[in-house]
Chain A
Amino acid sequence: MPGCRAPRLSGVLRIDRATYDAIVAHAREDHPDEACGVVAGPEGSDRPERFIPMLNAARSPTFYEFDSGDLLRLYREMDDRDEEPVVIYHSHTATEAYPSRTDISYASEPNAHYVLVSTRHHEGQTGLAGDDVEFRSFRIVDGSVTEEDVEVVESYLFGHSPTTVVYD
């Protein structure tokens, strides 16, 4: 099957190296089951800052699902911290890193970057950095998929003013 292609958006996912590596490591660890999680960030910032690996309640190589109790706790916590899910990631363990029909039908965060990692070439790899785990990012809005570029930055702390410190 030829690789899937979607129209590309001018948008881009900017993600720091440590978070990128953490997502890939999680996908590798849970292989051959699908891994899933979220990277939360301040509402409206589009900055994925807080890596939150989630348990795949389905524990399946072909399906993932956040446990409903975990989901409620996650959203409540993000709400308390004025955060939103900036990245929602999961892995495909035997197919390419492209949203499946099921992924698209469930996608319901129009502001999120949907990150797909494929570990289909994972087996037999050395585990060294640079092996070919695929890492791609998409917007999924009203059932339509748009791929976007992924820009890995060394750290979000560089190039941004430090967060305000309040002394009381």
Chain B
Amino acid sequence: MAIEVRIPTILRTHTGGAKTVEGSGATLGALVDDLDSQHPGLKNRLVTEEGKLHRFVNVYVNDEDVRFTGALDTSVKDGDSVTILPAVAGGC
């Protein structure tokens, strides 16, 4: 068992085109570190230099937006499903 992570089109350059990858960790932050060790560069696209999630991406753990559950501190466990989506936003 592992944590399944769905990767959006824009980040698939880091995963060799894969739509779904697997990783492990007790928190979302640890999972992102594990993913980055397998798919270098991924973390930079998700996390800012200050260690916060980029506002350009939305991350969901089992359909729950992690902004409301502790962001990178959100607990995750084997069998969870994580979805990463680019935010669709803009303005004049």
Contact = CB atoms under 8 A, between A and B. Distances in A.
A44 B21 CA distance: 22
A75 B65 contact: no
A66 B89 CA distance: 6
Nearest to A43: B9
A59 B90 CA distance: 12
Interface string B59-92: 0100101010000000000000001011111111
Nearest to A103: B90
Measured as residues with beta carbon below 8 angstroms from the partner, the interface class of chain A is 20 to 34
A110 B9 contact: yes
Given A109-B9, A111-B9, A64 B63 contact: no
Interface in B45-69: 56, 58, 60, 63, 65, 67
Contact of B67 (A63, A68, A75, A107): A68
A90 B90 contact: yes
B10 A72 contact: no
Secondary structure call for the B interface? mixed
B10 A64 contact: no
Chain B, interface size category, equals 10 to 19
B92 A72 contact: no
Chain A CB within 10 A, most for which of B8, B60, B65, B88: B88
B56 A106 contact: yes
Interface of A: 34, 36, 38, 54, 58, 60, 62-66, 68-69, 71-72, 75, 84, 88, 90, 92-95, 99-100, 102-103, 105-111
Interface of B: 8-10, 56, 58, 60, 63, 65, 67, 83, 85-92
10 contacts: A65-B89, A68-B87, A71-B88, A72-B65, A72-B85, A75-B8, A75-B83, A84-B9, A90-B90, A100-B92
